[in-house]
Amino acid sequence: MGDVEREDPAPTPGQVRALLQRAGRLGSHARTLLADDAEARADVQRALSLVRTRLAREELGSIPLARLKDVTVGRLRVSALEQAGHQTVLDILDTTPYALQLLPGVGAWNARQAHAAAGQIARAVEETVALRIDVDRQDDETTALLIALNRLVNAGPDLPRAGAAARRIAERLASLLPAAQPARGWLRMLLAGREGRRRAREAVARIEDVIAEANASDTALLFGQVSVDLLRPPVSGLEAWVDFEFRASEYYNLLAEIAATEPDRVASEGFLPDDISSRVKAQNLDDTHRRVSLRGYQSFGARFALAQRRVILGDEMGLGKTIEAIAVLAHLRARGESHFLVACPASVLINWVREVETRSTLRAYSLRGGDRAAALAEWVRTGGVAVTTVDTLHRLEIPDDVALGMLVVDEAHYVKNPAARRSQAVARWCDRTERVLFMTGTPMENRVEEFRNLVGYLRPDLIPALRNGDATAGAAGAAGAAGAQAFRRAVAPVYLRRNQEDVLTELPDLVHVDEWEEFGEADLAAYRKAVADGNFMAMRRAAYAVPETSAKLQRLLELVDEAAGNGLKVVVFSYFRDVMAAVHQALGGSGTPQAPGDPGGRVHGPISGDLGADRRQQVVDEFTAAQGHAVLLSQIQAGGVGLNLQAASVVIICEPQVKPTMESQAVARAHRMGQVRKVQVHRILTADSVDQRMLDILRGKAGLFDTYARRSDLADSTPDAVDISEQALARQIVEEEQRRLATARPSQD
């Protein structure tokens, strides 16, 4: 007889019992995690309710009594209530109907109607009140909310993944475990009947699959780690506020999810047509390799790039385009892609490397500097994200058998000129790569020619429909006259843009971004000399020593250009006059202060200590009165106090300050009452330098405590008393840098 293929023998009752015990433990861990997560979220909901109530009461206290007539369609008489001293809706809400009807001229009907109308307005306000956390107002309700959120934030980006796995396992085992019970013993199987035995055997097989999948992905370990985080004792209020300021976006991501405060759907989807929007929302987004939670609009942006394959992501600056791109790369990695390429300006290269390795499990390789050949070889061999500059992309040689999962081009408006070498290099790589993501925060609505050039790299088939004035289509030309929304619909297959005001409905008015750069060769030489000389102040400004090659200055110009594209005013702060002069000259100024009455084009200032108070205010007034985009330069000591700069919504700080209060006071000049836009604060930093050492020290526990312990009238009036000693900080950093550079080999670009 020939060989007979036989099925694996069915597990014995003893083996089934052991299997079901393991499954029972796994299911119990899954249910426990879900319960702990639900309890933590319930704590947030309870704290959130108190914050909403307080915020609503504050708003109700500013709503005049006359608004009650709107709710009652004018039938309510409010004059008697006003004569009795009631001025706002809150006054009525805090008074009982019985007390109201006792007032002269009010009566029972008017009292009931007034109180009911006040309650209706209160409910509407509580549902729509903006949730904004003010670090300068640390009330008990908001502190309790941050403490509750802290537990979920500390569970980290593994929490959503663990929760999804727990729900999946709990749901599967809920039906499989009862169905598998007859297989625990021979007699039970006998009594179960033919159909019962079939179901039991099938359930056992599927339970084996569940456990095998859990073992392969270390699910039990994931459950254990997340559960430990969820069960940690609550942090103190001080710790919660400190952590919030450093990780505000993570707190707001969770708050938006739990409070269901996502923005208007149409706006958050970039006003895309329904057919494209539906296709994007149907696109799955795998988070296996992602280590950051996404806002709803960010998830939509990532799925847009996946569903449409070759696109331009044009979200306004400050909305997290880099995180959306990393989410796309992480998804593609989970689906089997291994090699990805990012081309960006040199000024943001190190930011990309840091963000990829912080926000995902992917390895990032910098293809720049003396180690670029070794980094390239390692990337080719193992995969990951290679990050290079758009200006060196033409020199990049990758074997033909290395398939790119995606090409990302950051600040893509830099390649708008098809005749430029870098543009031609990008075009060649676009031809070689199936998936391409262009990123630019510069609006394209009024730059149809530039936009058409970018589209040409990605979707040449769309060019005929984008011909300005084309008789057969003319979509972009017509859209230009009809406005931004019409333009977006015309270019919807390839372009997605969302604005801050559309999607950051509940975020704070203040968004901090650290911009990390690397020294250029000349700046590094200046820095090494300053370190050798023990000159702390020269170390701090060495990154601007040679303006023509300064990476910091280049990034500053890019930020200013992007703000100009969005029509935003910018204020630039530095401690040093020579840095201000270099910035002034780079922006097209003379590098010297303006004469009184000379507005100086788009650049105003610099404001410095030798300008009198009247002249300072005149410069600020001219900056404020300027139509559209303008830039104000100021020494941080001079402009950081006493001036109102709320016309600016972008703040750039050229170097970190020794005293944290100096930065916070400077930012407060723009982020203050009267500011109608969200304020973006960009602090430009150099890696492996005095900047990084300063931040490491100032972020230590003692420095943090001092920073936040100053919340009192006395401390606020004497900031010098709580800041770290400049002399001690300088001495420590100089000594550390002298030791580090004595053992480090010179880097090469």
Interval 201-236: pLDDT, tens: 899 999 999 999 888 888 888 888 888 888 889 999
Residue 73's pLDDT is 63
Q: Which of 150-154, 650-654, 698-702 has the lowest mean pLDDT?
A: 698-702
Banded pLDDT at 2 (limits 50, 70, 90): very low
Q: Give CA–CA dist 472/23, Å, rounded.
A: 64
Helices within 61-106 (DSSP H only):
67-71, 79-83, 89-93, 97-101
467 pLDDT band (50/70/90 cuts)?
A: low
* Gyration radius (Cα) of the chain, Å: 30
- pLDDT score at 600: 46
| Helices 237-246 and 140-155, axial angle in degrees (round to 10) | 60
Range name among 192-201, 291-300, 700-709 with the lowest pLDDT average: 700-709
Q: How many CB atoms lie within 10 A of CB 590?
A: 11
Whether 349 has a pLDDT exceeding 60, the answer reads: yes
Confirm if 367 and 376 have CB atoms less than 8 A apart: yes
Q: Decide the pairing of beta strands 650-653 and 679-686.
A: parallel
Domain 264-503 has CATH 3.40.630.10: no
Mean pLDDT of 582-591: 81
The residues near 78 (Cβ < 8 Å, ≥ 6 apart) are 65, 66, 68, 69, 114
pLDDT tens across 687-731, in order?
889 998 888 877 653 333 333 333 333 333 333 333 445 677 788
Residue 356, pLDDT score: 95
Cβ neighbours of residue 35 closer than 8 Å, sequence gap 6 or more? none
Token couple for 629: 């985009």
Please report the pLDDT score of residue 703 as a whole number. 39
pLDDT of residue 579: 94
Number of H helices, E strands in the chain: 34, 13
3-state secondary structure of 513: strand
Sequence-separated (6 or more) residues with CB below 8 Å from residue 532: 738, 741
Domain residue ranges of the chain, discontinuous segments joined by +: 1-261, 264-503, 510-743
Equal fold, 264-503 vs 510-743: yes
Sheet of 679-686, strand order: 510-517, 679-686, 650-653, 570-574, 631-635, 603-607
For 463, counting Cβ atoms within 10 Å of its Cβ (0-12 exposed, 13-18 middle, 19+ buried), the class is middle
Instruction: List all residues 6 or more positions away from 291 whose beta carbon is below 8 Å from its beta carbon.
Output: 156, 157, 158, 358, 359, 360, 361
pLDDT at 599 over 60: no
pLDDT of residue 207: 92
* Sheet-wide strand order for 436-439: 364-366, 384-389, 339-344, 404-409, 436-439, 310-313, 495-496
CA distance 488 to 440: 15
Which of 3.40.50.300, 3.40.1080.10, 1.10.760.10, 1.10.357.10 is the CATH number of 510-743?
3.40.50.300
Give the least confident one: 285-294, 378-387, 406-415. Answer: 285-294
pLDDT > 60? residue 470: no
- Which stretch of DSSP H or E encloses residue 479? helix 475-482
DSSP 3-state assignment of 650? strand
Report whether pLDDT(70) > 90. no
Candidates 77, 87, 114; CA nearest to 99 is 114
Tell me what the pLDDT averaged over the chain comes to: 82
Residue 187 has pLDDT above 60, yes or no: yes
CB atoms within 10 A of CB 189: 18
Q: How confident is the model at residue 643 (pLDDT cuts 50, 70, 90)?
A: low
Predicted confidence at residue 74, as pLDDT, reads 59
pLDDT of 185 strictly over 90: no
Closest CA to 86 of 109, 108, 71, 105: 105
Are 210 and 172 spatial neighbours (Cβ–Cβ below 8 Å)?
Answer: yes
pLDDT higher than threshold 60 for residue 561: yes
Pairing of strands 570-574, 650-653: parallel
Residue 285: burial class (beta carbons within 10 Å; 0-12, 13-18, 19+): middle
The answer to whether 201 touches 183, Cβ cutoff 8 Å, is yes
Bond into 418 cis (ω within 30)? no
Q: For residue 728, with 0-12 CB atoms within 10 Å meaning exposed, 13-18 middle and 19 or more buried, which class applies?
A: exposed
In terms of C-beta density within 10 A (0-12 exposed, 13-18 middle, 19 or more buried), how is residue 461 classed?
Answer: exposed
